[in-house]
Amino acid sequence: MNWDELKGDWKTFAGKIKAKWGKLTDDDMTVINGKRDELSGRIQKHYGHTKEVAEKHIDEFLKTV
């Protein structure tokens, strides 16, 4: 799956994203609202990852959905 597909069906995938990254709050999900850079930033903030690591995790997640 690519990000555009996920973004197009954000409400469906938001739950899967929250399940994967449990530290993300409902407020985080509202701010992210399908924006990959926001998701990356929130993962960095909550998990202490670098941008590169966060992006790698997002890419791996996209391969599983």
Report how far residue 18's alpha carbon sits from residue 14's, in angstroms, rounded to the nearest whole number. 6
What is the pLDDT, as a whole number, of residue 16?
A: 93
Report domain extents, the chain. Answer: 3-64
CATH class held by domain 3-64? mainly alpha
CB 40 within 8 A of CB 55: yes
What is the pLDDT, as a whole number, of residue 36?
A: 95
pLDDT of 11 higher than 90: no
What is the pLDDT, as a whole number, of residue 8?
A: 85
What is the pLDDT, as a whole number, of residue 6?
A: 85
Share above pLDDT 70 across residues of the chain, in percent, rounded to a whole number: 100
**Looking at per-residue confidence, does 29 or 1 come out higher?**
29
Q: What is the mean pLDDT of residues 16-45?
A: 95
Q: Which two tokens stand for residue 60?
A: 């791996």
